[in-house]
Amino acid sequence: MPGSLEGQYIRLEVISGKNLKVPSQRIPAGIYVSINPQSSRRWKSTIGVLSSDESIAWRDAVTLSLDASPTLSVEIRASFELDRMLGNGEVVGKLDTSWDALLDHGDELFDISFPSVRGVHPSLTLRVTVLHNCDNQDSALLDISQDTDAGHERFSTYVSSKTVSHLNDAVKHFQLVLNQCPVGHPHRAAALTNLAWAHLQGYIRNDLQDIDSITSLFREALALRPQGHPDHPLSIYHLLKALIWRYCKENFTAVYIQECVQLSCKLLPLCPEGTYLRSIAAGANGIDYVIRECNELLADASDESIHLRRAILELCPLGHQARPKALMNLAQAVQDHFLQRGTIDDLAESIQHKREAISLCPEGHSEHDTYLYNLAVSLWYRFNHQDNSDDLNEAISLYEEVLHLRPVGHKYRNFPLGSLGLALNTRFDRRDPLASSARH
């Protein structure tokens, strides 16, 4: 390498690629480029989604030092995961070259070709620019990249070793990066997220506190990644995770789990089935946890409670194990609303939800008898409101079915027994009003 270039930096831009065939013929989730300068850490481009013509436009870039190593390795790799990769994927093409060969092209776009794969030669379009002022923004970007990598390394060590000193080192590096990413900086959201995530893991393990600061960092990052931003779903998930842990650690304060419901409703439609983020976000420690906790909250007739119950039901599509309970909770809330305000549409909705819950919990299900009884009560209410004999007859049939499922000795047998007696007496009075008058 010419001595005049040592100690300087270059900006290497990965513009696009074409003829990107995967040797194994497996359909990739995406393709990325890996640059290994040999004397420093490997750089990876973003993962691009392959077009139908087997091309990708990355327009990604990295700033690298022109150090003593005269060569570098350029690889094209197929990733079979868009989110977190398992391994480094499959090699599509690999080429060893030198800085001198790249710099011979000046500041112009140029192509490099790789060995043939399935009859065609994959190629990349690159551009290399020498940076003469290493104390400019590109140098600052290199500094924050190095501090970020150091923070990730320390944080990874903390996760495996549980040594708090490694967490403190990670936080120090991430804070240094954030200090260099003021408002308006393109990497501020990433810097906020890295620092917040390290703090959150410390909070989970009781090594750090100040959950207010953690949620504030995540909220700012989310605001910088609005709907449509590629990292918007992941930023929602980060805030959701922080609020779930806050709810768990702060005496199960309802306001935190209620905000989790709002975030979950925004996040779930943004996570396609089969993606890694979906499996984590919707899993037992994510949205499913939020659903379980909200299903245990006491229902009431307030508009806020009904709105919450509708949101929970939205998170429980057909086939979700928590859907029956979500249906019954919403049914109870709107029924209570009916009892307060007398709006018959509320009662009709309650009956509809209870019927669906019963259809999802056939005989043999642990809640089948309870759901039958609750439906009978709703029908009894509607009969008293509208005087429709069909509702009364169905309520009686349901009470009798519940009694069959709760034989003598069952601790809850008295509820359907008393309700059935009242309903039968009412039906008798309707059929023989003279006998009713004689009794009174």
Q: Is the pLDDT of residue 287 over 60?
A: yes
Q: Is the pLDDT of residue 135 over 80?
A: no
Distances (CA, A) of 160 to 127, 195, 280, 357: 40, 18, 20, 45
Confidence tier at 136 by pLDDT (50, 70, 90): very low
Phi, psi angle pair for 285, to nearest 5°:
-100, 10
What confidence tens digit (pLDDT) does each residue in 356-399 have?
999 999 989 999 999 999 999 999 999 999 999 999 999 999 99
Q: Which amino acid is at 206?
A: N
3-state secondary structure of 47: coil
Neighbours of 161 (CB within 10 A): 11
If you write DSSP's letter for every residue of 241-278 in order, what string do you get?
HHHHHHHHHTTT-HHHHHHHHHHHHHHGGGS-TT-HHH
Identify which has the larger pLDDT, 247 or 89: 247
Q: Is the pTM of this model over 0.85?
A: no
Q: Is the pLDDT of residue 76 over 90?
A: yes
Mean pLDDT for the chain overall: 88
Confidence tier at 243 by pLDDT (50, 70, 90): very high
Residues 44, 32: contact at Cβ < 8 Å? Answer: yes
Q: Is the pLDDT of residue 438 over 50?
A: no
- State the chain's maximal CA–CA distance in angstroms: 117
Q: Is the pLDDT of residue 5 over 70?
A: no
Report the alpha-carbon distance of residue 234 to residue 265 in Å, rounded: 14
3-state secondary structure of 317: coil
Average confidence (pLDDT) over 239-254: 94
Q: Is the pLDDT of residue 436 over 70?
A: no
Identify which has the larger pLDDT, 138 or 165: 165
Identify which has the larger pLDDT, 118 or 380: 380
**Among residues of the chain, what percentage have pLDDT more than 90?**
59
What confidence tens digit (pLDDT) does each residue in 309-336 have?
999 999 999 999 999 999 999 999 999 9
